Amino acid sequence: MDIYQNIKEGERGAWLSIIAYLSLSLLKIIIAVTYASEALLADGLNNATDIIASLAVLVGLKISRKPPDEDHRYGHFRAETVSALIASLIMMIVGIEVLWRAVRKFFDPVLDTPGGVAAWTALVSAAVMFAVYQYNRKLALRINSRAVMAAAYDNRSDALVSLGAFIGIVGAQTGLAWMDPLAATLVGAVICKTAWDIFRDASHTLTDGFDDKKLEQFRRTVEQTKGVASIKDIKARFHGNRVFVDMVIQVADNNMNVVESHRITEEIEKRMWNEHRISEVHIHIEPKEG
């Protein structure tokens, strides 16, 4: 499937997340205020930040679909990574705010006991977000999208957050009032942790960081290609959802002509696509030393 079509399909996952987060955040915030649940309020604010994150992914995916132009010869695929970076900063700010509210709640002279509706709202929300996670995970695997997979992992963490809020609210209803603000504190910590993970991954990608283990897999694929004597240098980097690989190889026969050398590069490109789904491979050929 064409990479631009893949990106367009990825937008469906972003839209699904936006609709789910918008609906659930409004419901949770209204129920939380009505039935005095700090944990559910924190969960609702968490979903509100997820709307921003999903919008950032959506905008990034749309910009990524723009074809190369005179200012962006490699295309616009990194736009989604930049959007994720911005979203992570916004999420971190909200996470700190949730933590601050929860900690202050512990020092209130009287802790409110949340109503039963708040607990059921959190439980239903957990089920909805787990279903969204399953959809986005399958979509990400099918279209090979790191952005959609990151969104899926965020969906999963949100399902766990809602489940934690449910436990905290039920605990508060059984007489342990401190469990509700405790659950809110844990929600705030999860928001901050998720924001940090997204920031770390996006900044690593934008600075051309790449997994050494994955690079070693590329190396083994190339070394097993007929006619390749050794790999003098190999490196890779992400450009949005695409991987660009640059390598310098030494051939076994120093007397081969241009046509034969080109045949080796075509075989490497074919193997890289079949085994790793990588189409952008730049190969420089040199004679074997010694």
What is the C-alpha to C-alpha distance for residues 117 and 132, in angstroms, rounded to an integer? 23
For residue 284, what pLDDT band results from cuts at 50, 70 and 90?
Answer: very high
Architecture of the structural domain at 212-287: 2-Layer Sandwich (3.30)
Q: Which residues of 205-232 are buried (b: 16+ CB within 10 A; e: fewer)?
A: beeeebeeeeeeebeebbeebebbbeee
Burial of 114 (C-beta count, 10 Å sphere; 0-12/13-18/19+): buried
Higher pLDDT among residues 232 and 43, named by residue? 232
- The residue among 266 and 172 whose pLDDT is bigger is 266
Q: Which of 40-49, 79-88, 168-177, 252-261 has the highest mean pLDDT?
A: 252-261
Q: Domain 3-206 classified CATH 1.10.10.10?
A: no
What pLDDT, on a 0 to 100 scale, did the predictor assign at position 2? 59
147 has a pLDDT exceeding 80 = no
The yes-or-no verdict on residue 5 having pLDDT over 70 is: no
* Assigned token pair, 137: 């995970």
Q: Are 239 and 76 a contacting pair, CB within 8 Å?
A: no
220 compared with 45, residue with greater pLDDT: 220
- Helix%, strand%, coil% for the chain, nearest 5: 70, 10, 20
What pLDDT, on a 0 to 100 scale, did the predictor assign at position 73?
80
**Amino acid found at 237:** R
pLDDT of residue 109: 52
Nearest CA-CA partner of 195 in 150, 159, 144: 150
Reported as a pLDDT band with limits 50, 70 and 90, residue 113 is: low
Q: What is the pLDDT of residue 112?
A: 59
- What separation in angstroms does the CA of 236 have from each of 215, 252, 280? 7, 24, 10
Alpha helices, DSSP H, located in 35-145: 38-64, 79-106, 116-143
Tens-digit pLDDT profile for residues 9-42: 778 888 888 999 999 999 999 998 888 787 788 8
Nearest CA to 53 out of 204, 122, 100, 45 is that of: 45
CA dihedral 33, 36, 39, 44 (to 10 degrees): -10
Q: Strand order in 228-239's β-sheet?
A: 228-239, 242-251, 280-287
* Chain segment 81-110, per-residue pLDDT in tens: 887 787 778 778 877 877 887 787 777 655
State the average pLDDT over residues 197-204. Answer: 87
* pLDDT for the residue numbered 222: 94
Ranges 49-58, 133-142, 197-206, 255-264: which has the least confidence: 49-58
Query: Quick check: pTM over 0.85?
Result: no
pLDDT of residue 74: 81
Amino acid 110: pLDDT? 52
Work out the pLDDT band at 1, boundaries 50, 70, 90. Answer: very low
Indicate the domain borders of the chain. 3-206, 212-287
Q: Which two tokens stand for residue 168?
A: 């905290």
Regarding beta strands 280-287 and 242-251, do their DSSP bridges make them parallel or antiparallel, or are they unpaired? Answer: parallel
Per-residue exposure over 237-275, b if at least 16 CB sit within 10 Å of its own CB, e if not: bbbbbbbbbebebbbeeeebeeeebeebbeebbebbeee
Q: Is the pLDDT of residue 133 over 60?
A: yes
Question: Does an H or E element contain 280, and which?
Answer: strand 280-287
